[in-house]
Chains A and B, each alone.
Chain A
Amino acid sequence: MLGSLTSLDSMFEEFRRMSDQMDELFGRGTQPPAIRSVARGTFPPINMGATPDGITLYLFAAGLDPKTVELNIQRNLLTVAGERKLQVSPTATYYRQERFGGAFRRVIALPEDVDSEGVEARYRDGILQITARRRESATPRQISVQ
């Protein structure tokens, strides 16, 4: 009765799955993965950027309640844990359920010079942004020649 949903999308899904499989087989580069790294596609996806003053992490997690997110830092290890509950309708017929629902935990190794006292987090439009300052002594200082 319903027209075929996303036949073009499922073709792209197929390509994406294939490229994921190729990545698994051949690896993405010559370095072995970090010991705390997780499989591609683990929720939530994370981007990490750096400036001389600090590090910023972006967790792509839509629909979180920021009060339920546990954020801990020990030395340079940052742990983010929480749960994203999906509201499933018991009477509806589901055609697709692609979104992740459940508990998650990621441990991220930040650069060694991060200041564990200077970590802040903000949640907006589904992105959890975590900023961490670098320790003072690590920033390059100019030395004037007498």
Chain B
Amino acid sequence: MTDKREVATQGSTGAEATEREPGVVMIPPADVFEDADGITLQLDMPGVARERLNLQTDNNSLLIEGTAQLDMPHGMAALYADVRSTLYRRSFVLSDELQTDKTEANLKDGILTVRIPKRAEVRPRRIEVRGD
């Protein structure tokens, strides 16, 4: 039984389903690092605003989707394109000790930062050595 939760980014009223655009999907580059309290992901998603970001956590997985929006004047012809798509998608398989329901996300200037804390009982604890 899966427990799908939509994680809203700060300030948004709720993630919308992204449009299903045919064509290439871009994989946003990600930095992933772990410290004592949890795991942080930072992804480059230039052109994506909060309304076009979809972040979902499953029991064990994280899905990130976003649609970039370019301000294009009417009748523009493409001269050169490094970027051939506006759809970003990336997913990760998580693990049990991460508290997916406490996931926090922040989107600023196209950088998405996702923070998933670890369950308190799993965090490294120093063990006192008693001398008798």
In which size bucket is the chain B interface? 35 or more
Cross-chain contact of A63 among B49, B78, B111 (Cβ < 8 A): B111
CB of B76 within 8 A of CB of A126, answer no
Q: How far is the CA of A129 from the CA of B78 in the complex (A)?
A: 15
Return A7 CB to nearest CB of chain B, in Å. Answer: 8
Return B116 CB to nearest CB of chain A, in Å. Answer: 11
Q: How far is the CA of A58 from the CA of B72 in the complex (A)?
A: 10
The 0/1 profile, CB within 8 Å of A marked 1, for residues 34-57 of chain B is: 110000101111111100000000
CB of B44 within 8 A of CB of A96, answer no
Return A39 CB to nearest CB of chain B, in Å. Answer: 11
Cβ–Cβ < 8 Å partners of B75 in chain A: 51
Cross-chain contact of A125 among B42, B47, B60, B78 (Cβ < 8 A): B47
Interface size in chain A (residues, C-beta < 8 A): 48
CB of B110 within 8 A of CB of A62, answer yes
CB of A94 within 8 A of CB of B93, answer no
The 0/1 profile, CB within 8 Å of A marked 1, for residues 12-50 of chain B is: 000000000000000101111111000010111111110
Return B55 CB to nearest CB of chain A, in Å. Answer: 16
Within 8 A of A (CB), among B84-132: 90-95, 97, 108-111
Q: Which 4 A-B pairs have the closest CB atoms?
A: A126-B110, A62-B110, A126-B46, A45-B82
Residues on A close to B: CB < 8 A? 1-9, 12-13, 16, 40, 44-51, 53, 55-56, 58, 60-64, 86, 89, 91-100, 111, 123, 125-127, 129
Residues on B close to A: CB < 8 A? 27, 29-35, 40, 42-49, 60, 68-83, 90-95, 97, 108-111
